[in-house]
Structure 1
Amino acid sequence: MRRLLTGVMAAALASGAQAQEGERSDAPPLLPYKVILVGDSTMAPHSGWGGAFCAQHVKSSVACLNTGRGGRSTRSYRQEGGWDIILAEAGVPGYRETYVLIQFGHNDQSTKPERRTDETTEFPANLRRFVEEVRAKGAIPVLVTPLTRREFKDGKLKNSLASWSDQVRGVAKALDVPLVDLNALSAAQVQEMGAEMATKLAQEAPTAEELAAARAGTTLPARPAPPAPPPIEGDGARGQVTRKFDYTHVGDIGAEVTARLVTQGLARVAPGLRSQLVR
């Protein structure tokens, strides 16, 4: 009887293996989406919202590339060659749709000569050119107004990027470009939070003096960035990130809070991407 059962089981296993082999089929073609983030430090890894967006708010069927870089403006991003890389990425075939989110403004208003642009002429012209070149690659541009700074006076947010955001809105309207109005969304959120609670969005905790000022409703001027740490020796990873308290950049909490705003704003203006975005 044991020999008979063993023989029956062996035959069944062999038959099952043959059936499984016969049922095999090829996987369907992969048609992923691609999202490219282009901007400054308020989008960049470790200081902006882009890392949280790519890590938490898109599905695995989305290739999410964060190319935000600190200190860049619409002028310097192109002049240093970064924009050429974006256009090459935007033209890579094989994606169902490629979206390019463009957010600048903070460094366009800088006094540094390699960054600054004229608010009413050069800045919108640079944005227009970005949009036109992305479209020429067959990708979908999305303009994003700049993340608000969290500076307060007498309990009221000082939105120093409001007029620059108006320029972004104007280009979006004129060229019929999807717009994520992050400046309006973040300004409303930060105003509701108040100066004291908004300090929790920063990279580092405020000093007692900075927290007291925020509690009273008027923030202190931002501290200078701390000096760079000494180089790391050895054969391990050597990259370092200098974190600081200020009213512009965001830490882990601020990045997630802002990424959620971007995700909801993007879902409203890019319906083709809604199924790929995660709350």
Structure 2
Amino acid sequence: MRRLVAIAACALLASGAQAAPRERTDAPPLDPYKIILVGDSTMAPHSGWGGAFCAHHVKSSVACLNAGRGGRSTRSYRQEGSWDIALAEAKVPGYRGTWVLIQFAHNDQSSKSERWTDETTEFPANLRRFVEEVRAAGATPVLVTPLTRREFRDGKLKNTLASWSDQIRGVAKAMDVPLVDLNALSAAQTQEMGAETATKLAQEPPTAEELAAARTGTTLPARPAPPPPPPIEGNGARGQVTRKFDYTHLGNVGAEVTAKLVTQALARAVPSLRSQLLR
């Protein structure tokens, strides 16, 4: 009997009998969004909030590019060519919309010769030029006030970037630019945390002495960055990141905490992005 069944099956195949063809359709065209992050180390990968934002707070329909660079100001970011790279990305077609988030001030406030800008003249002028060029590229600028430093005295946060944030707010208002007021949000959050808890946002844990000072409500001065580690040998990846404890840069916890602040503020400032942002 089994042999007869096998013979019949072979005969059926030989006769050309086949299953009905499956229906085939084309996928609908992609309708993607793009977000470009432009700023300093408090936004950059490994030291700021941008990595956590792109990794955890946008949908797969968003191309999220973190072009933050450590140690850059509105002047040096342009002079070294980073702005040209970001602007070229803003001009790439094929996206439903492109938004460029711009966050500077930490290094504009620096005394280093290639970084500093005048707070009341050059700094806002540089921001206005960024805004104009993003719009000319067909994208939408979003200004972001700087992340607060987490320095305390007698239990009160020293917001050393408050006046620089005022300059950004002024440009945003005058030019009708969406604003993510990260300075105000992070300052309020950090003050609520207090000096001791705020140490948990740093890249590395504080020393016992730094933690003891924070418990009193007055933080110690930031210590110098450690020397770079020795080079890695071999055929594998050789890039390295120097992590440190200070009151400015963010570790994994700090990056996620801050990225959540940015996400919610961005959703309020840019309603057309709400469907693409994740809590």
Which residue is 1:143 aligned to? 143
Percent same amino acid among aligned pairs? 82
Q: From 12, 15, 18, give the equivalent of 1:14.
A: 18
Q: TM-score, normalised by structure 1?
A: 0.95
Under a length normalisation based on structure 2, what TM-score does the superposition of the two structures give? 0.95
Partner of 2:187: 187
SS at match of 2:19: helix
1:118 and 2:111 aligned:
no
Residue-by-residue CA offset, 1:221-260 (whole Å, 9 max, x unaligned): 0000000011111110000000000000000000000000
Show CA shifts across 1:65-84 (max 9, x none): 00100000000000111111
User: How many pairs does the alignment contain?
Assistant: 275
Distance 1:27 1:8, change over 3 A: farther
3-state DSSP class of the match of 1:15? Answer: coil
The DSSP-based 3-state class of the residue aligned with 1:14 is coil
What's the offset of the Cα at 1:27? 1.1
Q: Which residue of 2 aligns with 1:269?
A: 269
Change (3 A) 1:47 1:8: farther
The one-letter code sitting in structure 1 at the alignment partner of 2:274 is R
- The residue that corresponds to 1:170 in the other structure is 170
1:153-168 paired onto structure 2 within 5 Å: 153-168=153-168
Residue 50 of structure 1 aligns with an amino acid whose one-letter code is G
Which of 1 and 2 has greater Rg?
A: 2
* Separation in structure 2 between the aligned mates of residue 40 and residue 122 of structure 1, nearest angstrom: 17
For residues 63-78 of structure 1, the aligned pairs below 5 Å read: 63-78=63-78
- 1:152 maps to which residue? 152
The amino acid across from 2:235 in the alignment is D
Runs of 4+ aligned structure 1 residues displaced above 3 Å come to 4-11
Taking the TM superposition and a 5 Å limit, the aligned residue runs for 1:1-279 are 3=5, 14-16=18-20, 18=21, 20=22, 23-279=23-279
Aligned-residue Cα RMSD (Å) equals 1.8
Counterpart CA distance in 2 for 1:268 and 1:127 is 22
Q: Distance in 2 between matches of 1:168 and 1:66?
A: 21
Shift of residue 14, structure 1, vs aligned partner: 3.1
Consecutive unaligned residues of structure 1, counting only runs of 5 or more, are none
In 1, distance between residues paired with 2:12 and 2:52? Answer: 53
For residue 222 of structure 2, give the secondary structure of its aligned residue in structure 1.
Answer: coil
Residue segments in structure 2 that go unaligned for 5+ positions in a row: none
Q: Distance in 2 between matches of 1:87 and 1:249?
A: 26
CA distance in 2, matches of 1:14, 1:169: 70
Separation in 2, partners of 1:68, 1:143: 14
